[in-house]
Amino acid sequence: MSFLDLKNVTKIYPNGTKAVHETSLSVEEGEFMVFVGPSGCGKSTLLRMVAGLEDITEGEITLDGNLINEVDPSERDIAMVFQNYALYPHMNVYNNLAYGLKNRGIDKKDIEQKVNEAAKLLQISEYLERKPSMLSGGQRQRVAMGRAIVRNPKIFLFDEPLSNLDAKLRIQMRLEIKKLQQKVGVTSIFVTHDQTEAMTLADKLAVINNGVIEQLATPIEIYNNPKSLFVAGFIGSPQMNFIEGELKNNTLSAEGFEIKNVKSDFNGDITLGIRPEHLSQSDNGLINLNVDLVEQLGSDNLVYGQLKDKKDFCYRCPGNLTIKKGDKLSLNIDNENYFIFDKSSGKRVN
């Protein structure tokens, strides 16, 4: 049994919305689990059921060996960082951190020591006397983290805690959260709809769509080996290219090209997925691209264009290649690095 176990957990809201479908999942002690998925897919709902803020319609959640379905959130020993931080507006930073400890009846001296330690760790020691309204977004974020850390809970939950920060601060805080989690070693679940955040933070990544976990694995496994069309499209930036086609007797035919000896027994309509970074230029390549636009990132260039059938397509090449608008490129797929999905079910078939 793992540290946190969800068994066939289902959530149906009173208005009939089924937000989470029979979901099973386990998180090991000390692991950093990330839930990622588009808006409305049920990430928050799942997290809030772990926290005890939503009733569990069906299924079981066990934490550290105890069934917690009916345990009040105040008794679960879980800390959560909210998207808008939910700092206590009438208390100064010190009391924001100390409040949870006070409720647990810890004596004053210990509280002071713990708060000061946490404040130091998060570099908010100078602001302890301030009210939250007198802090910047990044500082509030740290206070929210501090409030979670100081209690040394069994598990940390984060619900999109970085989405209110500007891009630069977000990257910085992302790093800090990762470092902090490694230092403190607390089991964590982090919810986000940003795939970069998900990839960089996660030990394990759960890609959720419409209340169902589509794939649960390490980030690199998900990147290398997406199990479904949805996962393939969601993870990776820029997005994977998709081309419609047909697979028959191990031969894949799409608009303008064919791939022979495909390792798949599937026959029928398929979607071919190719990541922009898994392509390279060659004479007589499979794919012919008419370049519309080139984005120079320095290290890389992102080349956008259209295929024969006017379908949009992206190719990522090293930054030292000079490609300009109007060029016609001929591209090959590197090392059979392509993914084939059943067009109707979205399941991976190669």
Partner 1 sequence: MKIKPLQISAHIILLLGVLLMVVPIWISFASSTHDTVTILTEGMKFNIGEHFSRNYNEVLNEKGGWSEEVTAAKMFINSFIMALGIATLKVTISAMSAYALVYYRFKLAVPIFWLIFITLLVPLEVRIFPTYKIVSDLGLTNSYTGLILPLVASATATFFFRQFYRTIPDELLESAKLDGANSWRFFLDFLVPLSKTMIAAMFIFMFVYGYSQYLWPLIMTTSEKYWTVVMGMKIIFTESYEGVALPRTAERFAYIILSMIPPVLVVVILQKWFIKGLIQTEK
Q: Which residues bind partner 1 (CB under 8 A)?
A: 51-53, 72-76, 78-80, 82, 84, 86, 88-90, 99-100, 103-104, 131-133, 147, 151
**What is the nearest approach in angstroms of ligand ATP to the Cβ of residue 194?**
10
**Out of partner 1, ligand ATP, Mg ion, none, which partner does residue 345 contact, by CB within 5 to 8 A per kind?**
none
**What is the nearest approach in angstroms of partner 1 to the Cβ of residue 88?**
7
**What is the nearest approach in angstroms of partner 1 to the Cβ of residue 100?**
4
C-alpha Rg value of the chain to the nearest Å = 24
What is the DSSP code string of 312-338? Answer: EEEEEEETTS---TT-EEEEEEGGG--
Interface with ligand ATP includes 161 (CB under 6 A)? Answer: no
Which residue in 8, 24, 28, 40 binds ligand ATP (CB under 6 A)? Answer: 40
Piece of the chain touching ligand ATP by CB under 6 A; list 11-19, 172-180, 197-205, 283-291: 11-19
Residue 5 burial (CB count, 10 A): 18
List CB contacts of 267: < 8 A, sequence separation 6 or more. 247, 248, 249
**What is the nearest approach in angstroms of partner 1 to the Cβ of residue 188?**
15
**What is the nearest approach in angstroms of ligand ATP to the Cβ of residue 45?**
3
Piece of the chain touching ligand ATP by CB under 6 A; list 36-44, 60-68, 264-272, 317-325: 36-44
Q: Which is nearer to ligand ATP, 19 or 287 (CB)?
A: 19
Token pair 């910085």 is found at: 172
Which residue in 4, 34, 44, 232 binds ligand ATP (CB under 6 A)? Answer: 44
Q: Assess contact for 143 and 92: CB atoms under 8 A.
A: no
**What is the nearest approach in angstroms of Mg ion to the Cβ of residue 117?**
31
Map residues 169-208 to x or -, x wherever contact with ligand ATP holds by CB under 6 A. ------------------------x---------------
Q: Which is nearer to ligand ATP, 54 or 342 (CB)?
A: 54
Token pair 């910047």 is found at: 136
| Residues near Mg ion, by CB under 5 A | 44
CA distance 312 to 305: 6
Q: Which is nearer to ligand ATP, 158 or 313 (CB)?
A: 158
The angle at the Cα of 337, spanning 331 to 342, to the nearest 5 degrees, equals 105
- Number of residues interacting with ligand ATP: please give it, by CB under 6 A: 13
Long-range contacts of 298-304 (CB under 8 A, 24+ apart): 302/238, 302/276, 303/329
Q: Where does the chain have alpha helices with state H?
A: 43-51, 93-103, 108-121, 137-149, 167-184, 195-201, 219-224, 229-234
Residue type, 235: I
Q: Assess contact for 315 and 290: CB atoms under 8 A.
A: no
Strands across the sheet with 328-333, in order?
279-281, 328-333, 287-296, 300-306, 312-318
Interface positions with ligand ATP (CB under 6 A): 13, 15, 17, 19, 37, 39-45, 193
